[in-house]
Amino acid sequence: MTEKADDTGLSGKAGSIKDMVRTSYAAVAQRKSGCCCGGPDLDAIAEAHGYSEEDLEKVPEGAHLGLGCGNPLALASLKGGETVLDLGSGAGFDCFLAAYRVGPKGHVIGVDMTYEMVRRAREHAETAALSQVEFRLGEIEHLPVEDESIDLVISNCVINLSPDKEQVFREAYRVLRQGGTLMISDIVITGILPEKVSQSAVMYAGCIAGAVSQEEYVRLLEKAGFMAIEMLESRPYPLEEAACCVPDEKLAEGPAFTAEEVAAVAGAVASVKIQAKKML
Amino acid sequence: MRISTIKILCCPVCHGRLTLSVTETTVLEDGEEDIVGGTLTCTACRVDYPVREGIPEMIPPGAACSEDK
């Protein structure tokens, strides 16, 4: 039997995985700024993810924690007055950008299961006087959102964290209006992960160990009913970006990865942007 | 939470409609009421979801919560 990493906290039970993710992101929510793990700075991360300087200037300070892996809004067509739902809204960064796009007559709803994130996001919304943005404490597998009430569902580097992705896509499909769009930035596995990485609780929180293959991702979307599924972008997702999603103390407790393991991850993990439609 | 957005909220368990009882409100800049404290109750399965500090807590019963506030 292969020896497992010493941070193996993945029992495989959905509840315990959720608790681990929630605890991890609650700690990240306490950060004053974003990634403080010695990785790339926040502006560099944002640029790599496709955000403009203007985007960064517009949003309330502290709303961008560098926890995404792309910019799901960049290619989304949004009109004034529309309703947007963000699955795993964190400190609210994408919600605030969406709020400017839908204007004061639109609605943006962020759902996140981590109380600390939701509280921080609401504080930012109040500071920015963006009353069209609201946040709910909730689970993306059990959305507290009415059927067919949403024009655009976005999510940024979150669905990989769910132990039940099929249920997440079913729920996204349920809440979308006919003709509505799902636009996701997320992590998929494109190669073979070293076992020390795939079994690591730290790397689960870091958005890698819970990710599925691109083929499986598309299969689950199709199973939920989505059509016109398009892979719009794909780029490598290196370990140093994953480390930004993990609190420093957890990183310190986790296993050290060898140069070979770091290189293996670079070749086996991708950040993708996926669009899918709920057809009329 | 804005009172107008209750129409797109539902019970996360059974997707039933919610009723709201309010304990604390403020008024937003545009004149709409913002619910700061209260309870959302599912009319179908009768589960209560608290609204605290303006945040509806819509975690299904039985799911662990982040911490006791």
CA dist B10 and B19 (Å) reads 10
Residue A53 amino acid letter: E
Cβ–Cβ gap B55/A18 under 8 Å:
no
Predicted confidence at residue A84, as pLDDT, reads 97
What mean pLDDT do residues B29-54 have?
92
CA dist A222 and A219 (Å) reads 5
Cβ–Cβ gap A145/B28 under 8 Å:
no
Assigned token pair, A45:
């991360």
Contact yes or no for A185/A74 (Cβ under 8 A): no
Predicted confidence at residue B28, as pLDDT, reads 79
Q: What are the CA-CA distances from residue A28 to residues A37, A104, A130, A242, B7 (Å)?
A: 11, 30, 24, 13, 32
Contact yes or no for A133/A158 (Cβ under 8 A): no
What mean pLDDT do residues B23-46 have?
90
Partner residue opposite A146 with nearest CB, options B9, B13, B66:
B9
Looking at domain B3-56, does it have CATH number 3.30.1380? no
A217: left (phi over 0), alpha (psi -120 to 50) or beta: alpha
Hey, is the C-beta of B55 within 8 angstroms of any chain A C-beta? yes
Assigned token pair, A262:
């770091």
Partners of A129 on chain B (C-beta within 8 Å) are: 29
Q: Is the pLDDT of residue B8 over 60?
A: yes
Work out the pLDDT band at B33, boundaries 50, 70, 90.
Answer: confident
Q: What percent of chain A has pLDDT over 90?
A: 49
What residues in chain A have per-residue pLDDT under 70? 1-13, 32-40
Partner residue opposite B9 with nearest CB, options A22, A118, A145:
A145
Predicted confidence at residue A160, as pLDDT, reads 93
Identify the bridge partners of residue A110 per DSSP, sorted by sequence position: A86, A135
Predicted confidence at residue A25, as pLDDT, reads 83
How many interface pairs between A and B have CB atoms less than 8 angstroms apart? 89
Residue in B closest to A174 by C-alpha: B15
Predicted confidence at residue A57, as pLDDT, reads 79
User: If you search the block for the tokens 């769009």, which residue do you land on?
Assistant: A181
Predicted confidence at residue A240, as pLDDT, reads 77
Partners of B15 on chain A (C-beta within 8 Å) are: 146-147, 174
* Burial class of residue A265 in the structure, from the number of CB atoms within 10 Å of its CB (0-12 exposed, 13-18 middle, 19+ buried): buried
State in words which class domain A14-277 has.
alpha beta
Please give the model's pTM, rounded to 2 decimal places: 0.88
B55-56 vs A227-236, strand pairing mode:
unpaired
Hey, is the C-beta of B9 within 8 angstroms of any chain A C-beta? yes
Q: What are the CA-CA distances from residue A100 to residues A19, A78, A132, A178, B29 (Å)?
A: 33, 10, 9, 24, 17
* Residues whose CB falls within 8 Å of the CB of residue B14, separated by 6 or more in sequence, listed in order: B42, B44, B45
Q: Is the pLDDT of residue B69 over 60?
A: no
Cβ–Cβ gap B66/A23 under 8 Å:
yes
Domain boundary assignment for chain B:
3-56
Q: What are the CA-CA distances from residue A222 to residues A134, A158, A184 (Å)?
A: 30, 19, 15
CA dist A137 and B65 (Å) reads 10
Residue among A142, A168, A176 with most chain B CBs within 10 A, to mutate: A142
Predicted confidence at residue A202, as pLDDT, reads 82
ipTM: 0.88
Residue among B14, B28, B55, B69 with most chain A CBs within 10 A, to mutate: B55
